Amino acid sequence: MRFVADVMLGKLARWLRILGYDVAYDPNADDEQLVQQAVNEKRILLTKDRHLVERWRKKLRLNGYLLLNSDDWREQLKQTVNYFGLDIHERRLTRCPNCNGVLDEVPKEAVRYRVPFFVFVQHEHFAQCSQCGKIYWAGSHYERMNAALDELLREEPLKNENANEVDNS
């Protein structure tokens, strides 16, 4: 399942990537570019913009879309996870939150001079973004992020049916 997020959903895009999902996001994209990318790359559009959906509904129906109703990225994440039934555990730390690139495992020796010394000493497993080259490891920051996600997504699904508008046909 691949997504493209509208310009207002940068935080949501980042957190979905942390869960391991492929989310295209360009803060400078206009409506037409977003819709075109959804069509060309078979991505589901995540948006807060009702007018965009109304104007381009026919094209958006090809791959589906989700109209989000909250300004809070936490609620947006819950709504997206619940609606699409996303797996919130299996893929974590497989994709770069910054650029959406896939992370590849790299041997410890390869990162010796590219991470702080204490990190190198304390960790055995490292991953590198195939696009931007950033190095990741399961350190304390990652642990906190994981814990925050667990707590957030453990809560009951939203039951606000009127506010959801979805169309996956």
Interface mask toward Zn ion for 92-111; x: CB under 5 A: ----x-xx-x----------
Q: Judge whether 63 and 83 are in contact, CB under 8 Å.
A: no
Q: State the nearest-atom distance from the C-beta of 131 to Zn ion, in Å.
A: 5
Which two three-digit tokens encode residue 68?
Answer: 């989000």
CA–CA separation, 102 and 94 (whole Å): 6
End-to-end CA gap in the chain: 15
Interface mask toward Zn ion for 115-144; x: CB under 5 A: --------------x-xx-x----------
Interface mask toward Zn ion for 20-59; x: CB under 5 A: ----------------------------------------
CA–CA separation, 23 and 77 (whole Å): 13
**Residues engaged in binding Zn ion (CB under 5 A):** 96, 98-99, 101, 129, 131-132, 134
